[in-house]
Amino acid sequence: MSAGIVSYGAYLPSLAISTEAIAQANSHAHAPGLGVSQKTVPEVDEDTITISTAAAFQALSRLEDKENIQSKMGALFIGSESHPYAVKPSGTVVAQALGLPTQMALADLQFACKAGTQSFQICLMYVQAGQIEYGLAIGADTAQSAPGDALEYTAAAGGAAFVVGQHEVIATLLATTSYVTDTPDFWRRPRQSYPQHGGRFTGEPAYFHHITHATTALLAKTQLQSKDFQHVIFHTPNGKFPVTVAKQLGFTSQQMAHSLVVEKVGNTYAAASLLALVNVLDHALPGEKILLTSYGSGAGADSFAFEITPEILNFRARQSSVLADYIAKLQPITYTQYCQRSES
């Protein structure tokens, strides 16, 4: 029983701060060469719940048979590492705000930046197993970083939502794989305001190791090669890591052309890989294949292969905006304004 993407939506805050402004505030001559020119900044009343609701609302509004599909929504999973409540779920608030059924599988998920693709994977498996007709998977975050820390240059906010099902599918799931180890490269203990990380340790033994193993497992499972994909997405903690791992695995810059939205929005953590997928879907054509591999500290990676169907042309006719429109409307703020929002 096949499953795939039926609709998708995204949301970005309207504000952004340049990495150069952050560098000047920290008395650095230049921003580090991370391949990120600016990052989004949430307003004081924007959190994982509001961002998730906005992204999901757009995904639902793009459905041709919205009321029918919404009434058959059987699962909602939200992946984030910045849920506003330690005990109360984000999902119940989002479900009620969207008018979703009360009889549904629902949970908040946490696996660092992999939490978004984890929610995506679970919803797809629910559909494939025949347990539900439609599911809603969301990745959203308002990432935190300590002032002056290297993370301050990239930690951003945003969200992406995907309706998955079996009918009017715009991208069919071909396969998915996962790879996990106990690699503590990034963590935050209870009552800590900001996460801690292992610096350079987050590269080779963490990000690159897990991305490589999950991706090679997917290629083996599908018996596809790097050249068979027109679009490739690797998790974007910055603009350098995904380009580096792509070259190591035999992918080209042309295949990465639409996946590096991190350059203009920063690292949106659990939403990062999914926002890149949104931008790829905004440009993909029928018959093209997409490879996506996320990464989450702690550590693990999810890898997916999708094939675009002709239905995407009908879907695109219902789109009133694309992710690039959000990015084009980002309004720059000063470091002082940024700090005022971070402290609220």
Q: For the chain, what is the mean pLDDT?
A: 93
Active site (annotated) includes residue 123: no
- Tell me whether residue 20 is one of the annotated catalytic residues: no
Residue 26: per-residue pLDDT: 85
Strand order in the sheet with 171-180: 105-109, 73-79, 134-142, 157-165, 4-11, 171-180, 300-308, 289-293, 231-234
Query: Model pTM?
Result: 0.95
Position 262 pLDDT exceeds 80 = yes
- In this model, does residue 146 exceed pLDDT 80? no
Superfamily per CATH, domain 172-310: Thiolase/Chalcone synthase (3.40.47.10)
Mean pLDDT of 321-339: 95
Active-site annotation holds for 209 = no
How do residues 159-203 score in pLDDT, each as one tens digit? 999 999 999 999 999 999 999 999 887 656 777 676 666 666 565
Tokens at 58, concatenated: 């757009």
Ordered by start, the domain boundaries in the chain are 4-171+313-343, 172-310
In the block, tokens 């980002």 appear at: 330
Find all residues with CB under 8 Å of 102, minimum gap 6, and list them.
95
CATH code for the part of the protein at 4-171+313-343: 3.40.47.10
Do the first three CATH levels of 4-171+313-343 and 172-310 match, i.e. the same topology? yes
- Among 113, 152, 231, 258, the active-site one is 113
pLDDT digits over 113-135, tens only?
999 999 999 999 999 999 999 99
Reference 78, options 55, 100, 56, 108; nearest CA is 108
Catalytic residue among 46, 81, 133, 152: 81
Exactly one of 197, 210, 231, 235 is catalytic; name it: 235
- The Cα–Cα gap between 64 and 233 comes to 28
